[in-house]
Amino acid sequence: MGKYIFIRHGESNINVLGVLSGDSDVSGLTEKGMAQARRTAEQLSGIKIDGIISSPLKRAFETAKIIGEVLNIDVKTDERLIEVNLGRAKEKKINEFTNPLYPNSHITGSIRNLIGMEDWDDMISRVKSAMDSFNGKYIFVSHSDPIRAIASYYLGWTEDDSFGIDIKNASMTVIDSDKNKVLCLGAINLDPEIKKLFY
Ligand SMILES: O=C(O)[C@H](O)COP(=O)(O)O
């Protein structure tokens, strides 16, 4: 356990198509996604951490490599940080599965089982397992759903409670698991008071 800076990868080619990625690995970063990753790396310059752990998917690993180059830290990958398994929704248009009253939103729990999507609690368990394996101060580069899920867990929220959370590309969500606290959620500018915890 310790302090974790969860970073969603930068914008990917599939993100811009309005297509659900899931654990698909067909998509790397756009030029904008690379610029987002570089901007986030600059926010983090000067921190002292124990490592960078990344989802093995190309869009996340490319983001982690950009951050690692700026911070001069090698990147390790861990499958437990991979994006949610979307079942039959993988690589399909987002709005085929979201509530038609709320286009471009999240697939909600009731549909999860119907399409064979990974269970919300299972997703939380695997991210927590990764945190248990890396004790200290880490950057975890991951994806929209796992970050929203682990933040909701530490906020004491359900999946429905978190429906309004939109984890932006290359944004930072900082969790202090020793204190069971979410210090920031989807931030693109890191609060200096939070950054001090990583010196
Ligand atoms: O498309 C998806 O699976 C999610 O909505 C976003 O996934 P990503 O964070 O890997 O882009």
**pLDDT value at position 98?**
87
For the record, the structure tokens of 87 come out as 């079942």
Domain holding 19: CATH number?
Answer: 3.40.50.1240
pLDDT digits (tens, 9 = 90+) for 39-86: 999 999 999 999 999 999 999 999 999 999 999 999 999 999 999 999
Q: Which atom of ligand 1 is nearest to the CA of 86?
A: 3
Cβ-defined contacts of 31-34 (< 8 Å, 24+):
33/9, 33/59, 33/62, 33/63, 33/169, 33/170, 34/10, 34/62, 34/66
Q: Round the average pLDDT of the chain to a whole number and report it.
A: 95
27 is in an annotated binding site: no
Helices (runs of H) and strands (runs of E) counted in the chain: 6, 6
Please give the model's pTM, rounded to 2 decimal places.
0.97
For 145, residues 6+ apart whose C-beta sits below 8 A from its C-beta are 83, 84, 106, 123
| Catalytic residue list | 9, 83
DSSP state of 51: E
Task: Give how many domains the chain has, as a whole number.
Answer: 1
10 is in an annotated binding site: yes
Q: Is 106 in the pocket of ligand 1 (CB under 6 A)?
A: no
- Using an 8 Å Cβ cutoff, are 76 and 17 in contact? no
- Ligand 1 center–CA 55 separation, angstroms: 12
Rounded Cα gap, residues 125 and 122, in angstroms? 5
- The residue nearest atom 10 of ligand 1, judged by CA position, is 143
pLDDT digits (tens, 9 = 90+) for 140-159: 999 999 999 999 999 999 99
Domain span at 144: 1-195
Confidence of residue 126 (pLDDT cuts 50, 70, 90): very high
Q: Is 82 in the pocket of ligand 1 (CB under 6 A)?
A: no
User: What's the complex ipTM?
Assistant: 0.94
